[in-house]
Amino acid sequence: MSTETSLMRRQLRAAVQIHTHLASTGRLSPLPVLYDREWDELTNSIRRFELARDKGWQIAADSLLSDLDLSAASLGRRLDRFRTELPRAPAPLQVLGPRDIAADLAALEEEFEEVDLNFQEKKLSVVTPDIELQDTYLGPFRIVLHWEEIGKGTCYCVVAEDPQPAEGYDHVKHPHVTDDRLCEGEGSTAIRKTSAQGRLLDFFTLVKQILETYNPNSAYVALSRWSGGRDCHDCGTSVSDEDSYGCSRCSESVCDSCRNSCEACDETLCSGCCTTCGECNGSFCRGCLKFRPGSRVLICNECLEKGENSDDDETPADDPPGEFSAGGDGCPAPAADSLCLEEAAVPA
């Protein structure tokens, strides 16, 4: 028997088993698993923050705020996943037939360099190419589908073949993968539907595409934890330390595209610390702007001086000399009469 024939038989055998399982999943699934890790991390972060605050350790408390934000976001995503995976009354789905499923298995051999069928453990796995996000190497990942778990909650996992964990987070091998679980984001519905219908090629392709995409708003850990860089405060893009700039006002990091400069003192500013002059619309830091006299409009020093010079030009000119001279009381005194001076008596 040729190798190709043997492979086709294995694929058809697996397709029959997968189809049989999918066609029989008409009952409510058990509750999804809710892990304690995210809750424990949040409570530990809260405890450390409260201790630092009670001790008056301002710097330590400030540094723990990012850990609190990260832990809270991670717990929120876990609860959102728990909600989406709650069992519901099954809706009628058109499940692919065994031959169509076998055709998808054959297509996977063309799409991925490594495809593995494990009949003993009832699982199908593929290995992705090397994943790189914004020039950060994360290595290949094995996507493992347990076909007898389809319709029962989480039926697959994502395992790093060449683990490159985030700095300080050994359980996070990818910004969107923690404990071998993928944060599916908007792809959650499509992934559940394709797996339930037996559309294996679409299922594995969707998971691979999510692994090849970085969304800083839904990352378990920011990509900067791998690259040794920072996330731009304004746009969220991960940049290296060499390409990031610290805001002179709030110390947040920004990329070159988001960086602003004060036109007066040339300080680097993020968008939140950059203020526009109410006259010339130039970009300035708050310290280089002043209120326009009699208003709450902030303007730069140059525009302020222009306004003052304009006021001076409208001031009436001085009285012509020679017509009046100020008296001792500040009132103008009449000029001396030359005729009277000539007729004055000259003493003998």
Q: Is a pLDDT exceeding 70 seen at residue 246?
A: yes
pLDDT at 229: 60
Percentage of the chain exceeding pLDDT 70: 81
| CATH code of residue 270 | 3.30.40
pLDDT at 31: 64
198 with 265, same domain: the answer is no
Higher pLDDT among residues 207 and 304, named by residue: 207
Domain membership flag for residue 41: no
Q: pTM of this prediction?
A: 0.53
20 with 162, same domain: the answer is yes
Mean pLDDT value of segment 162-175: 90
Domain membership flag for residue 49: no
Q: What residue numbers bound the domain in which 248 lies?
A: 232-311
pLDDT at 203: 97
Domain membership flag for residue 135: yes
Average pLDDT across the chain, whole number: 81
- Tell me the C-alpha to C-alpha distance, in Å, between residue 260 and each of 8, 285, 297: 61, 9, 21
Of all helices (H) and strands (E), which one includes residue 261?
strand 260-261
d(CA 73, CA 67): 10
Q: What are the residue ranges of helices labelled H in the chain?
A: 3-24, 37-55, 58-84, 98-111, 188-197, 200-211, 224-227, 301-313, 338-342
Range in 1-10, 29-38, 46-55 the model is least confident about: 29-38
Q: Which tens digit of pLDDT belongs to each residue from 110-131? A: 999 999 999 999 999 999 999 9
For residue 348, what pLDDT band results from cuts at 50, 70 and 90? very low
Q: Is a pLDDT exceeding 80 seen at residue 290?
A: yes
Mean pLDDT value of segment 155-178: 92
CA nearest to 287, candidates 270, 300, 305: 300
Instruction: Judge whether 237 and 229 are in contact, CB under 8 Å.
Output: no
For residue 141, what pLDDT band results from cuts at 50, 70 and 90? very high
pLDDT at 37: 73
172 with 251, same domain: the answer is no
Q: Which tens digit of pLDDT belongs to each residue from 181-229? A: 999 988 888 999 999 999 999 999 999 999 999 988 888 888 887 866 6
Mean pLDDT value of segment 142-166: 93
pLDDT at 115: 96
Domain membership flag for residue 318: no
Q: What is the DSSP letter of 34?
A: -
Q: Is a pLDDT exceeding 50 seen at residue 319?
A: no
Domain membership flag for residue 123: yes
- Tell me the C-alpha to C-alpha distance, in Å, between residue 200 and each of 6, 45, 146, 182, 185: 20, 41, 12, 17, 19
What is the b/e burial string over 20-55, where b = at least 16 CB atoms within 10 angstroms of the residue's CB? ebbeeeeeebeeeeeeeebeebbeebeebbeebeee
How many CB atoms are located within 10 Å of the residue 216 CB?
A: 15
pLDDT at 185: 85
169 with 236, same domain: the answer is no
d(CA 72, CA 49): 13
173 with 271, same domain: the answer is no
Domain membership flag for residue 183: yes
Q: Which tens digit of pLDDT belongs to each residue from 327-340? A: 444 444 444 444 33
Split into its structural domains, the chain has a count of 2
DSSP string, 11-24: HHHHHHHHHHHHHH
12 with 159, same domain: the answer is yes
